Copies of this chain bind each other. A is one copy, B any other.
Amino acid sequence: MRFGPAQVSLCGLVALVLCSPGFPAEHPGLLLTPEDVEFIRQYRQESPGFSRALEETRAELDDYFGTAPDVPAPVDPGGGYSHETHKKNGIAIHDAGMVYQLTGDETYARHAGRLLLAYADMYSALGNHPRSRSSNPGRLFWQNLNESVWLTYAIQGFDAIHDSLPPAERNEIVNRLLRPMADFLSEGSADTFDRIHNHGTWAVAAVGMTGYVLDDDDYVRKALHGLDGDGDSGFMRQIDLLFSPDGYYSEGPYYQRYAMMPFLLFARSIEANDPELDIFAYRDGILLKAIHACIDLSYAGLFFPLNDAIKDKGLDTVELRYGIAMAYALTGDSALASIAGLQNSQVLNGDGFRLARARDRGETLPFIHKSRLFRDGPEGKQGALAVLRAASTGNQQALLLKATSQGMGHGHFDKLGLLFYDNGREILTDYGAARFLNVEQKNGGRYLPENETWAKQTIAHNALVVDETSHFDGQLRVAEQHHPDMLFFDDAGGIEIASASMEGAYEGVSFQRTAALLSDFPTEHPLMIDVLEASGENPHQFDLPVHFNGQIVDTSHPLEPASSLHPLGEANGYQHLWLRASAEVPAGEKFAVTWLTGNRFYTYSVIARNDMQVFFTELGANDPQFNLRREQALVLRTRGESSGWFVSVVEPHGEYNGAEEYTLNSRGALDELRFVRETGADFLSLRTADGSQAILALSHDAGEAMTHEVELAGRPYRWNGNYALFQEAAPMSGVREECSADT
């Protein structure tokens, strides 16, 4: 079965050396191979960073094994003592195995071996964990998910010390720990093992890796193709179904990161043992695409906090340390080596060494973020996430239009929601999840009640709310039956633009949104443009929340402050917003607010079809435990009409420098904002105080090949495709000529 390990040539490119089949398993043979060990030994002096990481791990192990680790009876649920202790022991077995291989010091092999024997002593007598639930019981842990994770670590450690173990001990570990556990996680937990779900991925990875190490075809076959071998389940099927063709995982980047780990561990093990499967080329290289997607779904090193997401997570997580090292070793892409510069440590295997060495040798290129469309769904037909980027490197802008499917139970009700980043910071924000991960005082570290009452609700996002209810009335099952449709996406440069529509979020109301970054306009930085249109049959209340990060500097209209604060509403998240002030804005009149975020100013300008109320709100009402962060939002409201639109622009401008005592351009350049719906197209007109003007035309009939000719204020405009940008420098209210047209 094993055809020999992958070898990575010195220049970092892949050269597969196929050996003859039929040998018994060579050890170690998963993410670290004898060739890796030899390679690391030969070139170790070229990576002080890797040596340092190795020494740190060694020191941690010396500390950990200073007294014999406890192997307690499994009694506690997640977070409890036995749970945490077993987790730590699993990692210690892995780390000790790696350190033994990389240093040759048998002390670490003995540490790992003794700990594995202690588990062998205990494991075979265990029944179901006393705190387990019926759906996915574990033995060592309360749920079998944790048991699968444990085995992926332990099997790597065992593999690493395999040849150093006396045969009797080795048999003891295999027969009383590894086989019973692999049997339990496969045949013994059939529902989980055959499920197309993250828990299933962990189970097949653990069992499959164990199969390779024990040279057991049966485990490997079940892991790859499901318990009954028909391919309706198992690893290959999971790869088919859990990622979109663009490598997007429907729960969003936070869970994508987590879900990636077993895919990566098992795929790298498959590559080492069954290279003829060419697993990293499977489905047009989907696993590498998924790693790249993680990178493109981040800003300033942190993931976009879509759906339930802890906002601290990003590229410096263990999953991405494995993933980026692996992708680098497989592709030799020096831009990945620069991403690793955001990571504070490296994985102790062959891939980790190759990446660390490249960094220490300065073999890095900048990673260029570009605008990308991530289609959602296994076939890419369930909406999409559009990520627009206005510049290629540095503290560029990023604008997200979230037109994805619901994303299962961790999904938020924020169809066609927006997020905007600039200058290294969140500007229009998403709350992420209401959760303090592992902080026991905060609901045991689990999701907080406010995750349901606030974070998932539509009002908690930069998304349209109709009649103060959330999309699909907050019903997951209904939400899963609908998804937005992408209308178009273009990253032609000058303007980056995406448009999508949504039906079914509200009965009798559909809406569509077009988001763009406009760099082809003479403002200091690109402009963010947002055109949101809703149409229904009966009069409705339309609310557009604008969650912004910054200190308010100025408003265009006088505000009516509240002398005492009351919640903005009673349910669907509104009960958590204090109303601080409000303003009244006549239909079509521009309302603007300027705020300061870090050292840059942002002016948000908006016009609406109907008379508009603007509410200034702060988060924190009905939050007796102080579970919510103190954030703020504008809520733009129109009422009493069956359709409406909000057209807004964010202009980043100027600089505040307190240390050097200067402030530049605190007012911005955008002066006039107009929006006209004509038969056939919408026209958005922007003008600066010094007369620069641009008109963005949005075709009503989508289609790249359509020709449009629409008259506006007596002048004809012609273009092909979904949109066009017309520019002129003269300070006119009309439009003289067509300067550019796209798509």
Count of A residues near B, CB < 8 Å? 52
What is the count of identical protomers in the complex?
2
**Quick check: is A439 within 8 A (CB to CB) of the other chain?**
yes
Complexed CA–CA distance, A626 and B550 (Å) = 11
**Quick check: is A594 within 8 A (CB to CB) of the other chain?**
yes
Residues from chain B with Cβ under 8 Å of A19 in the complex: none
**Quick check: is A564 within 8 A (CB to CB) of the other chain?**
yes
Residues from chain B with Cβ under 8 Å of A437 in the complex: 658, 661, 663
Complexed CA–CA distance, A439 and B317 (Å) = 40
Residues from chain B with Cβ under 8 Å of A632 in the complex: 630
Contact with B along A299-320 (1 / 0, CB 8 A): 0000000000011111011100
Contact with B along A633-668 (1 / 0, CB 8 A): 000000000000000000000001111111100110
Q: Are B663 and A438 neighbours in the complex by a CB distance under 8 Å? A: yes
Shortest Cβ gap from A706 to chain B (Å): 45
**Quick check: is A442 within 8 A (CB to CB) of the other chain?**
yes
**Quick check: is A63 within 8 A (CB to CB) of the other chain?**
no
Residues from chain B with Cβ under 8 Å of A626 in the complex: 551-552, 581, 616
Name the CB-closest residue of B to A435.
Answer: B658
Of A313, A316, A317, A663, the most chain B CB neighbours within 10 A belong to A663
**Quick check: is A440 within 8 A (CB to CB) of the other chain?**
yes
Of A317, A318, A580, the most chain B CB neighbours within 10 A belong to A580
Q: Are B565 and A440 neighbours in the complex by a CB distance under 8 Å? A: no
**Quick check: is A477 within 8 A (CB to CB) of the other chain?**
no
**Quick check: is A677 within 8 A (CB to CB) of the other chain?**
no
Complexed CA–CA distance, A625 and B555 (Å) = 9
Residues from chain B with Cβ under 8 Å of A581 in the complex: 624, 626
Which A555-584 residues sit within 8 Å CB-CB of chain B? 559, 561, 563-566, 578, 580-581
Residues from chain B with Cβ under 8 Å of A436 in the complex: 551, 553, 596, 656
Q: Are B667 and A317 neighbours in the complex by a CB distance under 8 Å? A: no
Q: Are B317 and A624 neighbours in the complex by a CB distance under 8 Å? A: no
Q: Are B666 and A441 neighbours in the complex by a CB distance under 8 Å? A: yes
Shortest Cβ gap from A535 to chain B (Å): 34
Shortest Cβ gap from A584 to chain B (Å): 15
Question: Known contacts A552-B626, A580-B620; is A596 also within 8 Å of B439 by CB?
Answer: yes
- Can you list 13 A-B pairs, Cβ within 8 angstroms, ordered by A? A310-B658, A314-B659, A436-B551, A438-B656, A438-B661, A438-B662, A439-B596, A439-B663, A440-B666, A440-B667, A561-B623, A561-B624, A580-B620
